[in-house]
A and B are shown apart, each in its own frame.
Chain A
Amino acid sequence: MKVIIMGCGRVGAELAVMLERGGHVVTVLDMDPGAFGPLGYLPDDFRGIRKVGNGIDQDVLRQSGIEQADAFVSATRGDNRNVMACQVAKHVFGVPRVVSRVFDPIREEMYRSLGLRTINPTRIQARLLKEALEKEEEPVSAGPGAQQET
Chain B
Amino acid sequence: MYIIVVGAGKVGYYLAKELVEEQHEVLVIEQNPAKCADISEELGDIVMQGDGCEASTLERAGVGRCEMIIAVTGDDEDNLVVCQVARHRFQVPRTVARVNNPKNEDIFKKLGIDTTVSATSVIMAHIEQELPTHPLIPLMTLKGGGLEMVEVRVPPESFVVGKPIRDILLPHQSLISLIIDSEGHPRIPTGETVIHAGDEVVAVTMRESEGALRAALTSPKGMTSPGSV
Residues of A with Cβ closer than 8 Å to B?
A: 56-59, 78-81, 83-85, 87-88, 91-92, 104, 106-107, 110, 113-114
Contacts and interface: CB of A to CB of B under 8 A. Distances in A.
Contacts of B106: 92
A57 B81 CA distance: 16
A79 B81 contact: yes
Contact of B77 (A84, A91, A104): A84
Interface residues of B, number: 21
Contacts of A59: 103
If over half of A's interface residues share one DSSP class (helix, strand or loop), that class is named, otherwise mixed; here it is helix
If over half of B's interface residues share one DSSP class (helix, strand or loop), that class is named, otherwise mixed; here it is helix
Nearest to A57: B101
5 contacts: A57-B103, A84-B77, A92-B106, A110-B85, A113-B88
B219 to A, nearest CB: 34
A103 to B, nearest CB: 11
Nearest to B101: A57
Contact of A80 (B77, B101, B111): B77
B12 to A, nearest CB: 17
Given A78-B77, A84-B80, A91 B111 contact: yes
Contact of B107 (A78, A79, A87, A114): A87
Given A57-B101, A92-B107, A104-B54, A84 B89 contact: no
Nearest to B79: A80
A91 B81 contact: no
B53 A79 contact: yes
B95 interface: no
B107 A80 contact: no
Interface in B70-92: 75-78, 80-81, 84-85, 88-89
B107 A107 contact: no
Contact of A107 (B53, B75, B104): B53
A84 B78 CA distance: 9
B76 A84 contact: yes
B174 to A, nearest CB: 29
A91 B110 contact: yes
Interface in B16-51: none
Contacts of B107: 58, 87-88, 91-92
A120 to B, nearest CB: 14
B93 to A, nearest CB: 18
Contacts of B103: 57-59
A110 B77 contact: no
Given A106-B54, A110-B84, 12 more contacts: A56-B77, A57-B103, A58-B103, A58-B104, A78-B77, A79-B81, A80-B75, A84-B77, A91-B107, A92-B107, A110-B88, A113-B88
Nearest to A84: B77
